[in-house]
Structure 1
Amino acid sequence: MMKNPTETPLWQHGADLLVAQLETLGVNHVFGIPGAKIDKVFDSLLDSHIQIIPVRHEANAAFMAAAVGRLTGRAGVALVTSGPGCSNLVTGMATATTEGDPVVALGGAVKRADSSKLVHQSMDTVSMFRPVTKFSAEVTDGDALTEVVSNAFRYAEQGRGGGAFISLPQDIVDDPVKGQPIPARKPVVQGAAPEDAISEAIGYIRQAKNPVLLLGLMASQAKNSDAIRRLLNKSHIPATSTYQAAGAINQEHFSRFAGRVGLFNNQAGDRLLRQADLIITIGYSPVEYEPAMWNSGKAKLVHIDVQPAEIDNNYLPDTELVGDIAATLDKLSEHINSVLNLSDEAAAILQDRQDQRQLLAVQGHKLSQFALHPLRIVRAMQDIINSDVTLTVDMGSFHIWIARYLYSFRARQIMISNGQQTMGVALPWAIGTWLVDPSRKVVSVSGDGGFLQSSMELETAVRLNANILHIIWVDQGYNMVAIQEEKKYQRVSAVNFGPVDFKLYAEAFGAKGFVVQNAESLEHTLRCAMDVQGPSVVAIPVDYADNPMLMGQLHLSQIL
C-alpha cells in the first residue's frame, strides 16, 4: 500500500483492502476453498493475522462460520470461489439465516466485463443468495468495497442474526483500488420495549392463572438467559422451550421447566401450553416450532423479541414487546411483586416431567439390549456432557431423543437445529465451536447418514488437532424419514444403506476410532474417547424399535 497524507490511500489490490477491512472488523478466522477468481484474497490473507481454515466442502465453511457467529454474536466468515464454489454455500447460508446465526459469505465472481457472457463459472449469485440471506450484493466499484463489506456485517449481526452474501468480481479483488477501512461500529443496542406495552403485558400476567413462558432461539443468548432467570426468580412462571433454546433455564429453576417442544405435539411442554391462559414467547420464531402445533387460540399471547412478530393465522399476539430482550424482561421483573401459585394441572405436568427425568437418571443404564436403546445412549452422554463441554447435534431421530431427554444449564451449551433441519451440520459446527474456545472439549453427534454428508471435515479436525469427540448413532438408514413414511404409508422407501467400518474410516483420516461392541462397554468406551486430546470418533449401534413411540404420548415408564 502507498500512502499520501493528503489523498485516499491506494492499494495495489482490492483484496488487500478487503483483508484490511476484515481485520478492522475483528475477524479471526476465514473458512473456505480457494479458486482462480478469488485466490488473490487468500494470498492477501497470508499477510494478516487472520487464520485461514481450508475446508473440504463449501457448505461446511458456512456451517463452521455459523458456529462462530452463534457463540460470539460476531459474524463468522466464509470465503469461496465463483460458480459452484458459491452454489455449494447455499444450504449453509439458508441454515444460518433460519437459525439466527450471523455469517458473512464472500464469493468470487467473473470480471465485471464478463458478467453478461457465457464464460467459465459465470452465475448470478446475488439473486441466488437473496432468498436465503438478510443481505446480498455485488461490489460493482472498488470505491464501494469497504462500504459493502461493512454493511454486510451489520445486516448479519443486528437484531436476529443471519447470513449476508457479497459477490466479489475478479477485477475488483485483483486490480488497484483507493479506499481505507471503515472502523468497526459498536453494535446498535435497542432499549427496552415501550412502557405502555410493558404495562399491558403486566396486566395480562396479573390476571393469568396459568401463564407459561415459551422460550425461542434468542432466549438462549447469554444476556437474555440471565434476564429470564431474574424474571423467574420474581415470578416462578413455568416454562418450556424450543429445541434451539437449550440451556436457557438454569438448574435453580429446573423444577418449573417442562422440557423442550418441537416436531411432534406430545410433550410435557405441549400439555403445559394447552392449559395456559397466557403464553409469553421470548425470542421465538415460528420456524422453530409451527404455531399451529402449540397455540390453541384460547390463551392471551405476548410476543417479546428484537423484532415484530412474523404474523401467522395461529400466531397473532395480543401485545408485542419489541426491543432489547434482556432490558424488556428486566422491566417486566420490576413490576412483579409476588410469585405464581401453580394450578393443580400445571403442577401435575411439571411433577410428572421431574419424575421421568429421575426415572431416566436411575434406570437408563439398565437398558441392556444390543444394539442399544436410544435412552441408554442419552443416559451415557449425559454423564460426559458436563458444564465445560459443548454439544453440537445433527439432524435425525437421535436428535429428537437428545432434544427431549438430555438437559443442559448453560446458554448455548447445546447447538441444535429445527429450522431447516439440515443434515451434516454437527461436525463442522463442532470445529467452529472449538476454534472459538479451544479450552473446551466439544462433542458432536450424528446418525450414520448425516455423518457421511460432512465427514470429509475429519481431515480438517485432524489438521487443526481440534479436541472433538464425534459420536455416531449407527442403524444403516435414514431413520427419522423411515418412521414418518411408515406412519403415513405403512412401508418405507429409499431409507436404507450399507454398513461402514467407522473405526477404520476415522483412523484413515488420522483420528482415533472406537466402536461400542456390546452394551456393557458403552460408558467405558465413551470415557476413553473423551480422554483423547484431539479428534476421536465413536460408533454406537442403535436399536430404533421404539421410535414410533416418539410420535405418540411416550411415557418413559413404558420403557424403563
Structure 2
Amino acid sequence: MAEQKYGADLVVESLNNHGVDLVFGIPGAKIDRLFESLEHTAEGRKAPKLIVTRHEQNAAFMAQAFARITGKTGVVVVTSGPGVGNLATGLMTASAESDPVVAIGGQVPRRDLYRLTHQSTNSVALFNPITNFSSEIQDPNNISEIIANAFSAANGAKKGAAFVSLPQDVDDAPVTIEALPQVAEAKQGAASIADLEWLAAQIREAKLPVLLVGARGSDDMTVEALHQLLGETPLPVVETFQGAGVISRDLEEATFFGRIGLFRNQTGDKLLKQSDLVITVGYDAIEYEPRNWNKENQLNIVALDTAPVQIDNNFVPQRQLVGDIAQSLSILSEQLKGYKLPDESRATLKQLKDDLNASDEPTYTPAEGNLNHPLNVIKAIQQRVTDDMTVSTDIGSHYIWMARHFKSYVARHFLISNGMQTLGVGLPWAITAAMVRPNAKSISVSGDGGFFFSAMELETAVRLNLDTVHIVWNDNAHYDMVKFQEEMKYDGESAGVDFGNIDLVKYAESFGAKGLRVNTPDELESVLDEAFNTKGPVVVDIPVDYSHNYELGDKLIQSEG
C-alpha cells in the first residue's frame, strides 16, 4: 500500500520539480507538516535542504541573495501571523531589486480565515502591493498549480517576489495527485531588428554615446554579450550600484567610468551630462532616479530592457527596445563593427578617467589617531578580495563609500541593496554566498547600526561553519547615513541618530565566532590578514572617521536642492 501523501508533500514535490536546492525559514504550528516533510523526507523521496534562520526577515534576505547569485529562484518558508509579517521587508526588497523569490507562508485553517483567531491575518492582501503574485491555496488539489504560477510570476520580464499562503488544513490534507512538472520559462527574442539597426545608426552618428548598465543588465548571458560588444567597440560604460561588476578587468581601462547613485556628483554623472546619447541597459528607475541624472531633462535616451520602462518627466526614451538584452546586444555588436569614438570624445574620456582615478585618493587626515579613513579601509579590503569572492554591503555611510570606490570585476559578486536601501542585508547575503560559493571566502560590510539589524544570524554562520568575514565600520554608535544628511539639511543639527555602544568583539565571541578589532590604523593590514586567513565566521571592528561625510553629498552637478 502506497504511503499517504499530504499537502505538505505536494509542496515539496513542487519545489523539487522547480529545481529548488535550498529553502530558508523558521517553522511554526500552522505550517509544521511542511517542515517535517522538508527535514524528515520519506524513503524514496527527496527535498531541498532546509536552512533554519534566526529571523524570518533574514530568511527572506538569504533567499533573495540565493536568487541574485545563482540566477535561480530563492525560496523562503515561514509560519502564520507574525512569521508572515516578518517577510514584508525582504519580499519588498526582492521585488524592488528584480530578484526572483517565492515565499510560502502558513495560515490558519480555512474555517478560521475570517475569525478573530490566533495568528489569523489577510496575508494575501498584505503582499499584493509588494510582490508580482500573491495568492492563497483554497483546495489541496490546487497546491502545485498555484506554486507553479508563483514561480512563473517571480521570473517574469521584471523579476521579483511571489507569495503563497498555505492554510494549515491544506498543508495537512491527504492528497492523491502528483505535482506538476516545471513549465519551460517563456523566452524572449531580441528587440526589433529594425530598432536595433536604428540604434546602431544613432550610435555611429553620436559624438559621445554612453551605456548606463543596471541590475537587469548584470545576469551572466547579458554580461557575456556586453563584453563581446565592448571588446570590439569600446564604448564608455557607467554602472548603477546594482550593476556593479559588469565590466571585467581587461575592459576596465577603456570602458569603465564609475558608478552612479544617490548623489549627483560622480564621474559617471559628469559623463552622462556630456553625452549626446545615453543607452540604458537593464536599468530600473528605482536604482537611481532619472530626476537626478537627467535633472535638466536634456539627455537623448534610448532604453534597452526586458520590459517597458516607467515613463516620468525625466525619463522619456526616444525609443524602447524590449526583448532579451543579451540577444539584442549581440546583434548590436555585429552592426557596430568597425565603429570608433571620435578623437575629441576620447580626449574627453581621458579627462574623466583621470577624474575617476583621483576620486579614489584620500583628501583628508582622520580627525583622531585611532580612526581609519574610509578609502584606506576600502583599499585594504580590495587588496585581499579575489574575483571569486563575494562582497555584500549593508546600508549606511559605508555603502556610499563602497559603492563608489570598491572595484568589482565579476557581475553579482559585489551585492548592493539600492532599490530599497534595506538595512540588515549584509550578513544574511554573505551567509548565502558562503553556502552557494563554498570555495571562496564571503565578505560582508556594515555599519555598527545596520549590523545589529541581522547580527543574530552569526549563530547561523557558526552553526553551518561558513567561511565569512564581516567587517563593521564603527563610527561610535550613530546612524551616520541619516546623521550627515540631516546635518546638511538642518544647519549641522541631527535628530534620532544616536544609540548605545556594544562591544563587537565580545558579541562575536559569544556566538562562537572570532572577534577582532583594529585599535589603530597601523593595525589595519595585520588584523585583516588574520581575518582573511581564519576559517569560519569572523567579525572585524574597524573604527572609521566620518567627519567629512558631508562631502559625499557636496559639489552636486546642477544641485538637486
Same fold by TM (over 0.5)? yes
1:300 to 2:293 alignment:
no
8 Å CA contact 1:360–1:379 kept in 2: the answer is: no
Which of 38, 52, 67 is residue 31 of structure 2 equivalent to? 38
Q: Write out per-residue CA displacement over residues 467-494 of structure 1, whole angstroms, 9 at most, x where no aligned residue.
A: 1100000011000101110011120001
Distance 2:53 2:403 in 1: 29
Contact 2:12 2:47 in 1 (8 A): no
Deviation string 1:220-279 (CA, Å, 9 cap, x unpaired) is 112111111111123221111110000001122212211000000001100110011100
Question: C-alpha distance in 2, partners of 1:86/1:326?
Answer: 37
Q: Measure the CA separation in 1 of the matches of 2:465 and 2:268.
A: 40
- Corresponding residue of 1:545: 547
Q: How does 1:148-547 map to 2 (within 5 A)?
A: 148-255=146-253, 256-295=255-294, 296-342=296-342, 344=344, 347-354=347-354, 356-357=356-357, 360=360, 369-475=369-475, 476-490=477-491, 491-547=493-549
**Is contact 2:7–2:140 with CA below 8 Å preserved after alignment?**
yes
Q: 2 CA distance for matches of 1:554 and 1:290?
A: 15
Please report the TM-score for the alignment, with normalisation by the length of structure 2: 0.94
Map residues 80-159 of structure 1 onto 2, 5 A cutoff. 80-159=78-157
Q: Separation in 2 of the partners of 1:359 and 1:55?
A: 40
Matched to 2:452, the amino acid is L
- C-alpha spacing 1:344/1:477, structure 2 compared with 1 (3 Å): farther
Question: How many angstroms does 1:523 deviate by?
Answer: 1.0
> For residues 525 and 405 of structure 1, do their structure 2 counterparts lie closer, same or farther at Cα, with a shift above 3 Å needed?
same
User: CA-to-partner distance for each residue in 1:77-136, whole Å, 9 max, x for gaps?
Assistant: 110000000000000000011111111100000111110111000000001001111010
Structure-2 separation of matches of 1:515 and 1:317 = 50
AA matched with 1:357 = N
Distance of 2:482 and 2:452 partners within structure 1: 17
Contact 2:448-2:472 at 8 Å conserved across structures: yes
**Structure 2: where are the runs of 5+ without partners?**
none
The one-letter code sitting in structure 1 at the alignment partner of 2:180 is I
TM-superposed CA distance for 1:299, in Å, is 2.9
**1:67 alignment partner in structure 2:** 65
- Aligned position for 1:8: none
Contact 2:430 2:442 (C-alpha < 8 Å) held by counterparts: yes
* Alpha-carbon distance in 1 for matches of 2:341, 2:463: 55
1:264-301 CA-partner distances (Å, limit 9, x unpaired): 00011001100111000000000000001112432321
Q: Distance in 1 between matches of 2:404 and 2:462?
A: 32
Note the aligned Cα RMSD (angstroms). Answer: 1.9
The whole-number CA distance in structure 2 between the counterparts of 1:353 and 1:502 is: 39
- Deviation of 1:452 (Å): 0.3
> Offset at 1:186?
2.8
Size of the aligned set, in residue pairs, is 547
Question: So what's the TM-score if we normalise by structure 1?
Answer: 0.94
Query: Offset at 1:464?
Result: 0.5
SS of residue matched to 2:182: coil
Q: Any idea what the Cα deviations from partners look like across 1:426-458, whole Å, max 9, x if unmatched?
A: 000111112212112100000000000000000
Q: Alpha-carbon deviation of 1:347? A: 3.5
Gaps of 5+ in 1: 4-10, 556-560
Partner letter of residue 547 of structure 1? N
Counterpart CA distance in 2 for 1:365 and 1:508 is: 37
The residue that corresponds to 1:558 in the other structure is none
Conserved in 1, the CA contact under 8 Å of 2:10 and 2:179? yes
Give the superposition deviation at 1:354: 4.1
Shift of 1:160: 2.6
2:540 partner amino acid: V
Q: 2:18: which partner in 1? A: 25
